Chain A
Amino acid sequence: MKILVCISHVPDTTSKINFTEGDTKFDTNGVQFVINPYDEFSLTRAMWFKEKQGASVTVVNVGNATTEPTLRKALAIGADGAIRVNTDATDGLSVAKQLAEVVKNGGYDLVLAGRESIDYNGGMVPGMLAALVDFNFVNGCVGMEVDGTSVTAVREIDGGNETLSTSLPLVIGGQKGIVEEKDLRIPNMRGIMMARKKPLNVVEPVSAEDATSIQSFEKPAPKGAVKLIDADNVDELINLLHNEAKVI
């Protein structure tokens, strides 16, 4: 089985978010970038398939050279090779078109991605990719097994789970549950050393116009101070929620 794992290079979950250049650019100053957490769950599942069922695992990112440390981390975790599509990722549909080209050229059976990235939260790339390459698609995946070309996948629904049967070729939008957080891997020294020798191929993008662009960013309006209520006076809280906030 040939597996491709799509990796987004995103600010660490603890990052404070700021904008620059008249609120038109994300301020990367002092921000640590990581593998998108949803992608990390999918990558770990791919490693499981590699080790238990035999599979090759390639990771791919659409981005400029600054994303390479994130791809190297994925190699250190155990991916066999990496591809960077050499263009800035600025729009979901154009990113999906770049990834579709990689999928078509690579003959992959299974594409694992995260259900969304934690920076732009578009939640669209896995589904768009599936549609572009005409693969089956399961989003919000919290469990999966592959038997030959048959796949059983579990996806989260509102208030529960749905078990689906499908088949390869397949695109998965994964999240926590596809593996558990305790099973995520931290690269060890041997992995880091080996990652240096693994191939990281840079490919040039195909022509794909952006469907969307970001005109500007905003931060949420600053919040007023909290109203503190005495612990012995919950009546006051009920009064405020009813008469002031009008939510009960």
Chain B
Amino acid sequence: MSVLVFADSTEGKFKKSAFEVVSYAKKVAEQLGSNVVAITINANNNEELYTYGAEKILSVTNDALSTFNAKKYASVIEQAASSVGASVVVLDSSIDTLHTAPLLAVALDAGYASNVVELPSSTAPFTVKRKAFSNKGFSNTVIATDNKIIGVAKNSYGVHENAVSGSTESFDAAIADSGVTSEKLERVTGKVTIADAEVVVSAGRGLKGPENWGMVEELADVLGAATACSKPVSDLGWRPHGEHVGQTGKPVASNLYIAIGISGAIQHLAGINASKVKVVINTDPEAPFFKAADYGIVGDAFEVVPKLIEKLKAFKQAS
């Protein structure tokens, strides 16, 4: 009765979330008195997962899986779960995984808890805490089925080293017909994406127009951050929809979220609640965002942000 964890990779390289879910799975396996088996697809350095507690790795190498495909990936993970008799499967919460996990749940007739933020508080009944109400609450959810799928929310558990001496074996999975074919990938390259970002710099209508985004991008560059925006800004077409953070936009679970000229509507706050440290720069001292923030500057973004960029550059050079 192993715990199976899917360690996702891009172009052969593990995502940070892969180390997080393996760390998480290791602890779940300890709770259950079981071991961790990781399934990887076209990953180059499988042994990296030993550091986080993966005792056995099933390594799939197949050109038919070179592009993500939800049904094919679900089928491969299902075959791995069956092969090792896993009753618990742990996944991350990337866009691709959220596409895959429901298909896997049906294949395994498993209860699925997504957006899980902590280790199970109990294994009998199997109870996990998950985000609900768009980060405005949590639910302690019991998974009652024999097979269970846990989707760990990004940055919620963290990466923890727990080195083991593991072994890797190649795993031959039959590739399902998917009915869906990838025709074209359009990815903004060379920019940190919101999903992967440790730091997000976000701006709102307080910036007055798209022509003023240069300083936001410069601040993001200095911090190695992704840029984001509030909903009115994407609605006005100042920034692409993909940067819209909020209840119906992208959720952010970064370590640091800097909000510039965003008043903090309840829907926006719902999207950023999971970020650990929030900084707000706004001219209006009554802006609701100050109530949700850890640090705040009441001031004009056009004066504060350039100063912040200059000082951060000096700080980065000195450190």
Contacts and interface: CB of A to CB of B under 8 A. Distances in A.
- A and B: bona fide binding partners: yes
Interface of A: 11, 13-14, 16-17, 19, 37-38, 91-93, 96, 115, 118-128, 130-132, 136-140, 142, 152, 155-167, 175-177, 181-182, 209-220, 223-224, 226-231, 234-235, 237-238, 240-242, 245, 247-248
Contact of A218 (B112, B129, B198, B244): B129
Contacts of A122: 112, 114
Interface core residue of A38, A220, A226 (most chain B CB under 10 Å): A226
A180 B131 CA distance: 27
5 contacts: A13-B270, A122-B114, A123-B115, A131-B106, A159-B242
B223 A248 contact: yes
Interface of B: 68, 70-71, 74, 94-96, 98-103, 105-107, 110-115, 125, 127, 129, 131-145, 178-189, 191, 193, 195-196, 198-199, 223, 235, 241-242, 244, 247-249, 255-256, 266-267, 270, 273, 276-277, 279-280, 290-300, 303-304, 307-308, 311-312, 315, 319
Contact of B102 (A131, A157, A226, A237): A131
Nearest to A218: B138
A220 B144 CA distance: 25
Question: What are the nearest 5 A-B pairs in CB distance?
Answer: A127-B102, A231-B299, A211-B111, A159-B193, A160-B187
Contacts of A162: 182, 184-186
Contacts of A11: 133
B100 to A, nearest CB: 8
A158 B263 CA distance: 26
A213 B127 CA distance: 9
Contacts of B95: 139-140, 156-158
Contacts of A217: 132, 137-140
Given A14-B266, A247-B256, 15 more contacts: A14-B267, A124-B101, A131-B102, A132-B106, A140-B95, A156-B242, A175-B248, A176-B244, A212-B141, A217-B139, A220-B137, A228-B290, A231-B298, A238-B308, A241-B277
Contacts of A160: 185-188, 242
A23 to B, nearest CB: 9
Contacts of B70: 127, 137, 139
Nearest to A239: B315
A167 B181 CA distance: 10
Contacts of B103: 127-128, 130-131, 137
Contacts of B319: 242
A226 B279 CA distance: 9
B312 A238 contact: yes
Given A93-B105, A217-B138, A139 B98 contact: yes
B142 A226 contact: no
A228 B181 contact: no
A200 B127 CA distance: 38
Nearest to B289: A226
A137 B121 CA distance: 33
Given A217-B138, A235-B311, A245 B256 contact: yes
